[in-house]
Amino acid sequence: MKTRVNYRANASTKMNILSPSQCQEVVMAAVETMERTGTVFHDKESLDILKKAGCWVDGKQVRIPAYITERALRSCQKHVVLCNSRTGARELFVEGYNAYFGSGPCTPFTRNPFTNERHRATRQSVAWATKVLDALPNIDYAMSLGIVQDVPLLVSDRHEFEQQILHTDKPIITVCNDQWGQEDCIKMAEIVAGGEEELRRNPFICLYAEPISPGVHCREAAQKLVMGAKKALPTIYTPCIMAGGTAPATMAGVMVQGLCESLSGLVLSQCTREGAPFIMGGVYTVLDMGTTIFSYGAPELHLLLAALADVAHYLNIPMFGTAGCTDSCIIDEQAGIEAALSIAMTNMSGANLNHDTGYSEYGTTSNLDLVVIADEVLGMARKLTNGIRVDEDTLALDVIEKVGPGGRFGKEEHTQEHAKENYAPRLVNRAARDIWAKAGGKSLTQVANEKVHDIINYHEPKPLPKDIATKIRDIVENAVGHMPGEDD
Amino acid sequence: MAGFEELSKGVIGGNQAKVKELTQRLIDEGAEPLEIINQGLIAGMSIVGARFKNGEMFVPEVLMSAKAMGSGLEIVKPMIADADMPSIGKVLLGTVKGDLHDIGKNLVGMMLESGGFTVINLGIDIAPEQFVAAIKEHNPDILAMSALLTTTMLHMKDTIELLKEEGLNDKVQVIVGGAPISQDFADEVGAAGFAPDAASAVELCKRLLN
């Protein structure tokens, strides 16, 4: 018998960018910006809701008193769960320090995994992408990896959702063109879940909207946010901001600008319906001053989002992060470096729901080879954050003693028992050179591409019952598109 | 005159105070205002454009240079008739209806100005009718439309159709840009050109007007 006191163990890695004091300072600066500078809402219903709640509304400019922001931070639901669409099983607990990973939405273009041709995303490309996401063990949820464009563009979101729900039972984050598209997608989700209340109890979809930085909430975004709150469905609000373009060039300034926009969205959500589940998003990066792109591979992206994760933990609200993406136009060494750095860093930061795996070409073109590579990187990254268990069994003094100098550990029962805890790669090559050469001497991207082919050709996602699929088809076929800027 | 080269260097360095001082000195020394612009200010800005293209200068530096050039122009401008002011061409710029995205379009505007174009920036959420009215008012050589969304890019086609209806399509060349835009899309909607970024938009405009 042994007594041991004041013993502390790390069950995982520990990483922080901002201290609690710094988090507080950044949040207070954002709250001050909301109160002093405010943001603009291009939506009458939102302006009415905010005015009624006590915000200072001056035309479309809304300044939010600090007490309302503080109340919204208290009232939003902190426990957000996303479920399996077929079984309702509660799968993702988007809270605390849990980190989940998935793909990104809305790329206009995609690269065909069979022909390598870069083309506009289609129903088929989204179906293929969703199958790949469904098959990969480290991918936790699905975003579409493309805007369907072989259908009337104003109703593309309904077609996109149909392809997603047909090809995966993992939770889906759906990005709709506008409030009407979102209404239809919620209807489809309610049919799948078995009703409005069933969907609310076990939500398998998560809604998504984004402001236009700096500080502008367009009508579609505000309406989607209001609808999400009314339906009490988890809703992500994610500013995509560029240091030096739509925000100050300084990292702290970016944090303030981004938080000001996110938290203004939170206030709208909570003033619409107190307690509505809200997920604070962020794609914070730099405007590349050489090329003017919104960079998806810049180290500042990873740094800023890890800092945002610190703020999310400080505020105790769920967060939507970004990882697994690249500025590279093809899946090459640059793509691997940028995706791996972002995944490792984001995973260590404990950001909850992380998207954009599979983005290439600074977010304009999805690539399934990169998704498969990212799945392997995720396996490694998750091993990295597991920490090292230190106890009598793992210290293994008895085994060391038994085997002795010059002995072999391979045949020991202890080895057989524990070896499987170590990471077993499924994609990267560790074979001897001759064996690798005999297998075709393939690069990682080639192996990943073959895996994409295999999944598309042979993987069978859990099917959606036929009668439900028919009802969904019906909604898609009867969808009515709304031209942006009209219907005011 | 040796002062021109020094003035160009001031523009390249983005040094507003120096450009103001040198411009004034050249005027005092009796230099021709148009020569100050062409051989000093614009000459410097052309080097800036080339250096940006080569990756030797970055956006903020280009904008500083443009500002420096502007501060020199301000001094010379009153000495020249408007019609004689050198301008490569006039570009009317705006983001299409229903789309509030501003930054990319503004970068294009700033780069065009830096490249010697006169730019009229209409802003965001510009309906086809507003573009047409502005074309009638300003007589631009080029109409440049921006869209960030696959839904709003449809308004580009509407605008081009309206230009045809109004008989303006021969008077103004249309170029399009934005994340979801491609050369194929530009061809499909009948635009004269597409540029993937701000720097190439300047080249495109120069090419179209030559």
Interface probe, candidates B149, B158, B202, chain A, greatest A C-beta count within 10 A: B149
Q: Is the sign of the CA dihedral A167, A89, A135, A106 positive or negative?
A: positive
Which of A250, A261, A292, A360 to mutate: most B Cβ within 10 Å?
Answer: A292
Phi, psi of A10 (to 5 degrees): -90, 115
Helices (H), chain B: 2-12, 16-28, 33-35, 43-53, 59-76, 103-114, 128-138, 154-165, 183-189, 198-209
CB of B73 closer than 8 Å to CB of B24: no
Q: Which residue of A175, A289, A295 to mutate against B (max B Cβ within 10 Å)?
A: A289
Burial class (CB in 10 A: 0-12, 13-18, 19+), A397: exposed
- Tell me what pLDDT residue B83 has: 76
Nearest to A483 among B59, B98, B150 (CB): B98
Closest residue of A to B198, CA-based?
Answer: A292
State whether residue A39 is helix, strand or coil. Answer: strand
Residues A156-207 have pLDDT tens digits of 999 999 999 999 999 999 999 999 999 999 999 999 999 999 999 999 999 9
Tell me the C-alpha distance between A356 and B148, whole Å: 18
CB contact under 8 A, B151 and A177: yes
Q: End-to-end distance of chain A based on CA atoms, in angstroms?
A: 76
Answer yes or no: do B97 and A485 touch at CB < 8 A. yes
Nearest to A317 by CA among A269, A268, A352: A352
From A393's Cα to the closest Cα of chain B, the distance in A is 56
Torsion of CA A59, A62, A68, A71, to 10 degrees: 120
CB B108 within 8 A of CB B93: yes
- Count of pairs with CB atoms under 8 A, one residue in A, one in B: 66
Residues of A at the B interface, defined by Cβ within 8 angstroms: 42, 108-109, 120, 147, 149, 153-154, 156, 177-178, 212, 216, 218, 242, 244-246, 287, 289-293, 364, 483-486
Cα–Cα distance list, B169 to B109, B143, B161, B190 (Å) = 22, 10, 9, 10
Q: Report the residue of B59, B107, B130, B151 to disrupt the A interface, i.e. the one with the largest count of A CBs within 10 Å.
A: B151
What is the DSSP secondary-structure string of A172-186? EEEE-SSHHHHHHHH
Q: DSSP assignment of A384-446, as one string?
A: HHT----SHHHH-HHHHHHH-TT--STT-HHHHHHHTTS---SSS--S-HHHHHHTT---HHH
Question: Which residue from A108, A120, A485 is facing B98, i.e. has the nearest CB?
Answer: A485
Counting Cα atoms < 13 Å in the Cβ hemisphere of A242 gives 17
Residue with tokens 């990969």: A136
Task: Enumerate residues 6+ apart whose C-beta is below 8 A from A179.
Answer: A220, A223, A224, A227
Distance (Å) from the C-alpha of residue B115 to the closest C-alpha of chain A?
A: 16
pLDDT score of A151:
97
Tell me how far apart the alpha carbons of residues A202 and A361 are, in angstroms, rounded to a whole number: 36
CB contact under 8 Å between A484 and B97, yes or no, is: yes
Q: What is the DSSP letter of B145?
A: E
Minimum Cα–Cα distance from A241: chain B residue: B103
A153/B55 CB distance under 8 A = no
Helix pair A299-315, A251-272: axis angle to 10 deg: 40
Chain A residues touching B198 at Cβ < 8 A: 292
Strand ranges for A179-239 from DSSP E: 205-209, 216-217, 235-237
Do A485 and B127 lie within an 8 Å CB cutoff? yes
Out of A177, A291, A484, whose CB is closest to B99?
Answer: A484
Nearest chain B residue to A154 by CA distance is B151
CB-nearest partner of B149 from A244, A289, A484: A484
CA distance A107 to chain B (A): 8
Distance from CA of A213 to the nearest CA of B (A): 8
- Are B102 and A212 in contact (CB < 8 Å)? yes
Q: Higher-confidence residue: A68 or B70? A: A68
Q: Which residues of B touch A223 (CB under 8 A)?
A: none
Q: Which of B60, B99, B152 sits opposite A289 (nearest CB)?
A: B60
CB contact under 8 A, A154 and B154: yes
Place of tokens 């999805």: A366
> How far is the C-alpha of A118 from the C-alpha of A350, rounded, in Å?
34
Are B180 and A242 an interchain contact pair (Cβ–Cβ within 8 Å)?
no
CA A484 to chain B, closest CA, distance in angstroms equals 5
Contact A212 B101 (CB under 8 A): yes
Regions in chain A scoring below 70 on pLDDT: 487-488
Best of A39, A483, A486, A487 to disrupt the B interface (most B CBs within 10 Å) is A483
> What's the pLDDT at B1?
57
Query: Shortest Cα distance from B24 to chain A (angstroms)?
Result: 32
Spatial separation of the C-alpha atoms in residues A277 and A234, rounded to whole Å? 5
Query: In 3-state terms, what secondary structure has residue A34?
Result: helix
Among A212, A250, A361, A366, which would you mutate to test the B interface (most chain B Cβ atoms within 10 Å of its Cβ)? A212
Q: Which residues of chain B does A290 touch, with a Cβ-Cβ cutoff of 8 Å?
A: 55, 58-59
Per the listing, tokens 């006169």 go with B118
Q: Which of A120, A246, A484 sits opposite B152 (nearest CB)?
A: A484
Amino acid present at A459: H
A423: tokens are 């990471």
Q: What residue of B is the nearest CA neighbor of A217?
A: B100
Which chain A residue's Cα is nearest to B52? A290
| pLDDT tens digits for range B137-195 | 999 999 999 999 999 999 999 999 999 999 999 999 999 999 999 999 999 999 999 99
Is A289 within 8 Å of B59 when comparing Cβ atoms?
Answer: yes
pLDDT tens per residue across span B79-95:
988 778 888 899 999 99
Peptide bond into A214 cis (omega under 30): yes
- Alpha-carbon A439 to chain mean position: 35
